[in-house]
Chain A
Amino acid sequence: MLDSFPILLLFPLLGAAICGLAGKRLPERAVGAIACSAVFASFLVAAASFFELLGLSPEQRVRVVEAFTWIQAGDFASSASFLFDPLSSLMILVVTGVGFLIHLYSMGYMQGEDGYYRYFAYLNLFIFMMSVLVLADNYLLMFVGWEGVGLCSYLLIGYYFKERFAGDAAKKAFIVNRIGDFGFLLGMFLLFSEFGTLAYLDVFESVSALSPESGFGVLSLITLLFFVGATGKSAQIPLFTWLPDAMAGPTPVSALIHAATMVTAGVYMIARSSALYSRAPDTLLIVAVVALATALLSALIAVAQRDIKKVLAYSTVSQLGYMFLACGVGAYTAGIFHLMTHAFFKALLFLGSGSVILAMHHQQDLFKMGGLRKYLPWTWATMGIATLAIAGFPFLSGFFSKDEILWEAFSSPYGGPAFYAVGALVAGLTSFYMFRLMFLCFHGSERIEMGEHHGDDDHHAQGPEKQAHHDAKPKEPGMVVLLPLVLLAVLSFIGGWVGLPPWLAETNQLHHFLEPSFQYKYSLAAAGEHHGDHTAMELTLAGLAVALGLVGFLVAYWSYIRDPELPQRVSTRFAGAYQLMRNKFLVDELYDALFVHPLQWISRNILWRLMDASIIDGLVNGTAALVQIFSQMARRMQTGYVRSYAAWVLFGTVLIFVFYFTS
């Protein structure tokens, strides 16, 4: 299986083709089954290859399979070849595994929607593109997948294309990502001109002889440009604004984008390029600072959101900040670890919120829910596990990955106590806003107002079944929706155990496994010694983070269960700060003022009115006018009288003679 792993790419591509081309004539169930089984087949191949890889010795765990020669021009060559190593194998398992569960869930969630087949075709294509991105063995092929997921996100976010906001959100996601891609492209050009190749292994091989740059050199520039690309895909400052808007798509799409595909691309790319990044300390510092700022800012915004999906969206941005923080301090394994556990619990949270939204007939305002626990016990239980996991409750998946990042932020030679402090603060905030969501949604007084209007997640449910239940109490969705929730809850619970820290297990299995993928990374001397002696310190720091999480929980409990009037009082007391957070720190408005409006002004006045209308149109119309003037003159010669023609002939002859005899 291992030598033919690229075959797993074909299933979702084929699925997308079948669903897209023939899906309209097939019944819904068949379309869903085809799409799901395509992804499941990919998952099976990925799992089989993964276990085969596990059976090999660590040095042998790199497989490159060349599918075909792709581009051959002059001294530039790039082949469509794919790389299967510990890092990409883990990623592909997450992508196809979580992706499959989301597919399964979608079968129930999207029942009776217009364009059901279209949805599944896009979803399969998304998985395909993400797989290309993950499995590519060179930057150029990765870029194909990179752009492909951008396209698919555009298609899926704009799924309800009849609504203006969905189209706007889709365009925003696409355009903001283009800005990042520009950076990625420039980085690639620079990389090629520097190393003469874009294949990972060749680049890393030639970079492995170098030591870290002391100043801001070419490696720093390349990595910084790559990071610009990553900020676009993975929604970091300053390019994070598209992600919350991406909620305009169907909820399972949000889960797919936020957990398994799209946003993880940036983290994966940086982890993949660890050889380059670890030799560019200046970039690492920038990455870490941007990551922390993103984590903090978006956590603060999440605290004040009313829309259940918006809270989760900002939470994703914040958690991605953690992953980038890990990369920024050189702890790529920790970043990938968190990426994996985050995929489990964030997918679960989104899918859970999807069943809440479904049960509430598309009500998304948290303040119009409350007390849903007794109607939706399964959703409550599974989302509760995910919430505990993301809040860093001990021994759940999020606890291990988050604390590893915090520990690395503290102890890494690239990190420091300040990094840890901000990270721990964000952990407290995370716990607060997640429990706020849980309490507002499932506990407290019933403020249930079923959705009549269509919110962000517009649904157009026309099926008779949905109409019939419109006045009924909220009720748990069917099995096909619940099964993925339960499976993801199990994963959220135990998913972290593959990376038990040294104070719990002999070695960190995940570290051990991923090590070959990071063999070219440059590690400072400290790498060896911070395991072992620092157990006490590590435990203290972990304890501190857990304590902060507990504080977050208690504050949320106090504010939303014990004293429900408290948030009201606080928000009136600190109205300015509250409004700022509620309005997302006016980042969108700032961008509007700084970029969108000036750009529109330049486009309208300079590009359109001056360049296009005056200069270009002027040139074209002027040429035509000139020709007209000359032809007006020439027309006079055509009188139709033989005599005048004869006169012209004579005139011409005389002219030739004069010219001939005078020169």
Chain B
Amino acid sequence: MVPTAHYLILGAVLFSIGSFGVLFRRNAITMFMCVEIMLNAVNLTLIAYSRSLQQVDGQIFVIFVMVVAAAEASVGLAIIVVLRKRQGTLDVDSIDNMKW
């Protein structure tokens, strides 16, 4: 059986790659996909712990995360489509409407 530590290391690596992408890529869609990678890294970690602790709590959390991620994807993609229409770009550095 694959030891739990391996799953955790894989999860950490995936999370780091995801966060690196969120921080340093400028394309909104890429950033969005990186967020998905981070979420799934967390999911992986949760399931690994769930297995090693012999408890189902982690798996339940994963279902919740997947539900939220699905909702987020639909809303987030809608926002990105609108942004593209309005601003004509997906370069996040040129979108600073949040700054007052």
Residue B50 is within 8 A (CB to CB) of chain A in the complex? no
With both beta carbons as reference points, the residue of chain B lying nearest to A650 in the complex is identified as B19
Q: Do residues A638 and B22 form an inter-chain contact, with CB atoms below 8 A? A: no
How many positions in chain B have a CB within 8 Å of any CB in the partner chain? Answer: 12
- Judge if B67 is at the interface, Cβ distance under 8 Å: no
B96 touches A641 (CB 8 A): yes
Q: Is the CB of A646 within 8 A of B22?
A: yes
**How near does chain B come to A653, taking the closest CB pair, in angstroms?**
10
User: Nearest-CB distance from B35 to chain A (Å)?
Assistant: 9
Pair B99/A650 contact, Cβ less than 8 Å: no
What string of 1s and 0s marks CB contacts (under 8 Å) between A622-663 and chain B? 000000000000000011111100110010000000000000
If A638-B99, A639-B99 touch, whether A650 touches B93 (CB-CB below 8 Å) is: no
Contact of A643 among B22, B97, B99, B100 (CB under 8 A): B22
Residues of A within 8 A of B97 (CB): 640
Query: Is there a chain A Cβ closer than 8 Å to B2's Cβ?
Result: no
* Interface presence of B71 (CB below 8 A): no
Inter-chain contacts of B23 with A (CB < 8 A): 643, 646-647, 650
Tell me the smallest distance from the CB of A388 to a CB of chain B, in Å: 91
Interface flags for A153-174 (1: CB within 8 Å of B; 0: not) read 0000000000000000000000
Which B49-72 residues have C-beta < 8 A from chain A?
none
Q: With a CB–CB cut-off of 8 A, which chain B residues contact A640?
A: 96-100
Main secondary structure of the interface of B (DSSP, over half): helix
Task: Classify the secondary structure of A's interface with B.
Answer: helix
Q: Are B19 and A641 in contact (CB under 8 A)?
A: no
Contacts of B31 in A (CB 8 A): 642-643
| A640 and B93 alpha carbons, distance in the complex (Å) | 9
Tell me which residues from 61 to 100 in chain B have a Cβ below 8 Å from any Cβ of chain A.
92-93, 96-100
* Closest B residue, CB atoms, query A645: B98
Q: Is B92 touching A641 in the complex (CB atoms < 8 A)?
A: yes
Chain B contacts for A650, CB-based, 8 A? 19, 23
List of B residues within 8 angstroms of A643 by Cβ: 22-24, 31, 92
Chain B positions within 8 Å of A638 at CB level: 99
- What residues on B are CB-neighbors of A642 within 8 Å? 31, 92, 98
Residue of B nearest to A653 (CB): B19
* Shortest distance between the CB of A651 and any CB in chain B (Å): 10
Q: With the chains together, A650 CA to B20 CA distance in Å?
A: 10
CB distance from B69 to the nearest CB of A (A): 17
- Residues of A within 8 Å of B96, CB to CB, are 639-641
Which residues of B from 18 to 35 have beta carbons under 8 Å from A?
Answer: 19, 22-24, 31
Residue of B nearest to A644 (CB): B23
CA distance A643 to B91 in the complex (A): 12
A437 to B84, CA, bound (A): 105
CB proximity of A654 to chain B, nearest CB, Å: 10
Chain A residues whose CB sits within 8 angstroms of the CB of B22 once the complex forms: 643, 646
Q: Which A residues lie within 8 Å of B98 (CB)?
A: 640-642
> What is the bound-complex CA distance between A641 and B93, given in angstroms?
7
Please, which residue of chain B has its CB at the minimum distance from the CB of A647? B23
**Please, which residues of chain B bring their CB within 8 A of the CB of A641?**
92-93, 96, 98-99
**Distance in Å: Cβ of B91 to nearest Cβ of chain A:** 11
A640 to B94 alpha-carbon distance, docked (Å): 10
Interface residues of A in 570-628 (CB under 8 A from B): none
- Complex Cα gap A643–B21 (Å): 10
Q: How far is the CB of A632 from chain B (nearest CB, A)?
A: 16
Q: With A and B bound together, what is the CA distance between A642 and B96 in angstroms?
A: 8
The residue on A at minimum CB distance from B93 is A641
Chain B proximity of A370: nearest CB distance (Å): 87
Residue of A nearest to B35 (CB): A646
Give the complex CA separation of A646 and B28 in angstroms.
14
B17 to chain A, nearest CB (A): 13
Using Cβ atoms and an 8 Å threshold, which residues of chain A touch B24?
643
In the bound complex, how far is the Cα of B100 from the Cα of A638, in angstroms? 9
* 9 A–B pairs (Cβ distance < 8 Å), ordered by A: A638-B99, A639-B96, A640-B99, A640-B100, A641-B93, A643-B31, A646-B22, A646-B23, A650-B19
Chain B interface residues (CB < 8 Å from chain A): 19, 22-24, 31, 92-93, 96-100
3 tightest Cβ-Cβ pairs between the two chains A and B: A640-B99, A640-B96, A640-B98
> Given A642-B98, A650-B23, list of 8 further CB < 8 A pairs?
A640-B98, A640-B99, A641-B93, A641-B96, A641-B98, A643-B31, A647-B23, A650-B19
